[in-house]
Structures are given as structure tokens and as C-alpha cells.
Structure 1
Amino acid sequence: MTNQTRRRFLAGAAGVAAGLAGCSSGRRAPPDPVTPSGAEPDRDSPYTAVYDATIESVAFVGTAGGGGGSGFVYDDYVVTNQHVVGDADQVDVRFERGDWREAGVTATDVYADLAVLSTDIPDYARPLSFVDSVPPVGTEVLALGSPFGLESSVSTGIISGKNRALASPSGFSIPNTVQTDAGLDPGNSGGPLVTMDNEVTGIAVAGAGTSVGFAVSPLLARRVLPELIETGTYSHPFLGISLLPVTPIIAEANDLPETRGIYVVEVLDSGPTDQTLRGADGETTVDGRTVPTGGDTLIELAGNAIDSNADLGTTLALELSPGDRVDATVIRDGERVDIRVPIGSRPPPEQ
């Protein structure tokens, strides 16, 4: 029984071998070797030109826990996200040509989600510069980094939106973020979003879907990073209020002439002690919902129209500093009132 089974197997194997050999009983000559072309590959793509000009400034950032993200060279430092490095004092950085470096975490800022790393930067990794202003929606951009640990990757897209307020674990939104449809996957965090002119127009911070990603504003980064590098900290401006966006229900309950602005619900003890904004002191019911009443509706601050929470965050983050006292316009008791409001300093993040 065993010998018959073995004979059948050998016979079948011989048939398969003959089939793979093309049923030829003679020996076939090996195929001719393929000679690599000496011609240079076509590098006329504008995306290739931007990639070649910037990728050596981009690095993989690895942490002791096995996590990783991206970073890039800025002013003789490596910049990445705070959430990439977490509480680490030291991380590993790998540059484009394979050079590994240990990097010290010089400073972090949880509110802007930025971190500065100190290390021995290779000569070929030149610093990248930020744009002077965020380009228009529709501008082509490239996202460089290490998605899923795949170093030196690039994805393309456009600027899909500007001045977005991005929710953050810090309890405060990251203001003025840049929205893009360029692929931002885990591992892209901290990498640059660059224009076709090789300038950084954002620092990748979050992906929210297959075509929605967000980057820290280059304008916010240009404000925060120099202070982090020089002093190790950055003090964010703070009005010291809890607020709600003005919706039709809030506008109806407070007799507002327009559905715009931000509504002051409460003046917080953690804000400046002499805050002139006024919080709600009552409530009413509209369509079965309890709505606060009596608070100020802020519609202008430092000469800027405040139509939304995003407008307030951008004005505070990009134009004001702790200790300032600036003009504001509110709707108070149905009247337009001009006041001066103090700007405090945001309290340290909760541990």
C-alpha cells in the first residue's frame, strides 16, 4: 500500500515537472540577461523636483516605546509634534541618508502641539523655511514623512481649507490650522507640508479621514518656535472665558441682531483679574432647550471681526500677547458697546 502510494506520487511529480519544463525532453538555454539602462530616469515631474529639494531635510523620529513620527530641520534644530515625543527626554532620529542620531527634547508646547529637538544634524540636511502667509485654498502641496514607519514617503494634494480650529487633548483648540487632502497617516505627524516653492506651509498634526488632514499653521509655528528655542517655554494669550458659538437659538434668546460672534457664558477665575467681559447671569427656554442669557456677545477684537470661535482663536494666537489690553466690541443688553479687554496668560496644561 505504501509502495503504491509512493509510486503514484513520484509519477505525478514527474508529470508536473514535465509540464513546468514545457514538455521538452532537451535542455533549454537560459534567458538572456537584462542590462540596466544607462539613461537617467525622467525627473521632469514638478513633484519630483520638490521632493528632491526637501526630502533630505526630513527625518524619522522614533521613541523608546516603539512609536514614531516625522520631523524636519528648522534653524539648526529638528521640529516635530509634542504628541510624537510625549514625555520623553530623548528620542532617536534617522535622516534621509541613513544617519541615526540621538536627539534631546529641548522644549515642547502641548497647546500648539510642537516640540524642538537638539541633535547633530548632517550637513546635507538643510533647514527649511516657513511661508510668509498661508497660500490660497487650492494651492498644491506635498506631505513628507514616515507614514506607518515608511520613511521618505510623499503624498500630494491641495490646501483644502484655512483657519480651522482643531480640537486637542489639551482642552484648547489648536487655532488657524491648515486643512489638506494630502494623505496624513499615523507616522506623518511632525512632518512638513510643503508648497511647490519648497517652503513649509504646515506641520502635519492629524488625519481625520481619507481626504481630510490638518497641519499646524506656519504662522503659529513662526511665533511659537523661536520662543521655545530661546527660552524653552511659550506663554499663550488667554481671555479667561468659557464661551459658545452664537447659534440661532442663542441669538433669539439674547435678542441679537445677527447670528454671529461668540457668546460669553462665564468669566473664569484663571483669567486676568480685571476682565471687562461679562458672563451670562440668567437663562431661558427656546424650543425646549435651556439657553444662557445676559452675557456679552463678542463681535470684534483688536480690530478683527469675530464671527466664530476660529476667528477668536486666530486673533489671540497670532496677534496678541499676555499683558496686552485691546479694543473690543460686544453686544450687551441689546446694545453695541466698545470696551477694552485685558489679555492674560493661559494656565499650564493639566497633567
Structure 2
Amino acid sequence: MTQKKIIIAGGGTGGHIFPAIAIANALKQQYPAVEILFVGAKGKMEMEKVPQAGYRIVGLDIAGFNRSSLIKNIGLPFKLIKSFFQVRRIFRNFPPDAVVGVGGYSSFPVLRLAQQRNIPSFLHESNSFAGKANQMLGRKASLVFVSGNGMEKFFPANRIRVSGNPVRTNIVQLPADRESAIRSFGLDPAKTTVLVVGGSLGAKSINDAIGAGLQQLLQSNLQLIWQLGKGNLTVEREKLSQSGVCLKEFIPDMERAYAAADIIVSRAGAMAIAEIAVVQKPSILVPYPYAAEDHQTVNAMALVKQNAAIMVKDNEVQQRLTDTIIALAGDPLQQKALKQNITPLGVSNADAVIAAEILKQIGIVIS
């Protein structure tokens, strides 16, 4: 087997990291001789999660544009310039046959340099609304993998491949035993279980709303698996003593949480939606209002129009979230409709599709 070197760049959140790892695993499975190096941003969660998955990662001194505080962007141009020099050094030490960008600001300098050097570059755009950086990179990318149709307004039509969004294998192979999954969280299988997850970094508005409505939820005979997000556990530590609440900073084995859940409350990131569709669960989506181009609202509305999810706006979450959860928990017909309508949207083999196409483009055809 001819050895091939591939760099996978991006990160910042689980929504970028876990699909990247899924693609890496699929590449290794289809072509074991491939050598993979990840490039991420120093201090971000990819620097921890990627080595845990068994891959090497190099960190860049780079930061993204801060929309909430413009003064924090003063040093951004210098960091970007520095990151380009770092990427040049990475390419010298690990000359890639291809580069894959999965989103997150560490993708940009890596794909940009690859395109300048005519190295095959591939982009995965998970959202239904592409950000400006990905639009720019997509013009010269060898291929752009997207989650669904209608992306021609962002990328050249001849470069687009509709692949779906890669979902972790352990979630695709979801354990069917709801009861044992619930018991593993110390909860009661006889009660309706609500999984609350604001993403790997947490969601303050969702956490605040759930905290305010916790007694009302528990009095409605509901129980919670609640992921607060990294660094947020101490804020809610007094709620650890509540029976019917399993409180976690981060849930490493999300497949068990999904198996246990009867209803999911989540942000509307593309990867969160992809996972919810694969596990076929009724969901209440609270889009993050500061996402680029408000793409999470676009993601959520695409499901709402198909009666495949319920949406609660972030600025209404304090007033509406608790009542919406209780209403959905008490309406089995609506739960059934949401499950049925989201099921066709689930794609379980996107990682394999993407990996095969990348290998094909660099001269490796898998029979």
C-alpha cells in the first residue's frame, strides 16, 4: 500500500471535532496506510479530544472573531499571520497529500496554504448556511461536502457533494436497551427522561431556564440528564442532591444518554441535529442566537417546517422552555410525529462516503 498523508484541520466545539474524528476513522478503516495529522487551536477542546481518539494533533496560536466584544479582536490579525507561519512549518514536517477542513477557525490557514500550493483540499460544511470563511475556501476546494441540497448559493455547483453530516459510530450503533441506559445514570426507567444538552461547551440560557423550572419539571414526573458544559458544574452544584436529576459537566458516552432520552433539549448546531436525526428522538431546539449568519435558526426552521422538531427562540427560553417540555412529554402523539418526520433525515454513513471520495480524489480507489 502506498502511504498517504492527510491533514484534518478544525475544531473549537464538539460539533466540529467529533465529525472530524469520524472522518479520520473512516479513512483509516478504508485505507490503513493513510497517516493522519490533526491541526487545531491551542487551548481548545480538540487538543484533548483528538489524542483521546488516538490521533496526533498540532495546535495553532489562533483565535476566532469575537462578536460579543470587538475590543477582544485587536490581536486577531497578528494571530492569523503567526498561524500561517506555523502551518508552513507543519507542512514541511508533514507534507500532506490532501487537507480536510471541518470548520472552526483553525481550518482557514491550513486550507488556504494547501490551495496556494495546489494540494487537494476538501471542505465539510455541516450547516445549511455557510459562513464567509468556508464560502471563500469553497471556491478553490477540490470538493465541498454538504449536509443537504440547496448549497449552490454558497459553493460552485460542480464541487458540491451531498454526503450528510458524519455521526460518531457509537451513536449510529445506538444501544437499544433504554432501561439499562437510564439505570446507568441512576434514574428511574418508569419516568419520562429529558436529555438537556447545550453543546460541549454548554448553553447559559438553557441552563438558566432549566434551573428556574427544575421543580416544575420534577413535579410533572419528569427526570433529567443534564449536561451543563465544561466549567459550569460548580454553578449548579446544589442541584446535585435532587432526585431525578443526573447532572454532568460533560457526557463522554453520548450514546447512552441518547438511548436513555425520551425527549432531547438541544442547541440547533448541525451536528447536534444530525445526531438527533440518527437516534430518531423528539426534540426541542433552542438556536444559539450569535452563530454566524444566525445559521442555527436556519437549521432549526428547516426541521420545524417538516414537523420534525419544536423550536424555542433563545430570547423566549426563560418564559417558554419549561412549559414546552412538559407539554411535549404529555403528548405521545406529537412525540410520535416528531420521531417519524425526523427519521428520514438521519444519515448514518456520511463518514464513509466522505472518506471514499477523498481517497478517490488522491488516487486511491476502494473496491
User: Is the helix fraction higher in 1 or 2?
Assistant: 2
- Pair in the same fold by TM > 0.5: no
Pick 1 or 2: higher relative contact order, CA cutoff 8 A, min separation 6. 2
**TM-score, scaled relative to structure 2:** 0.23
**Structure number with larger C-alpha Rg:** 1
Q: TM-score w.r.t. structure 1 length?
A: 0.24
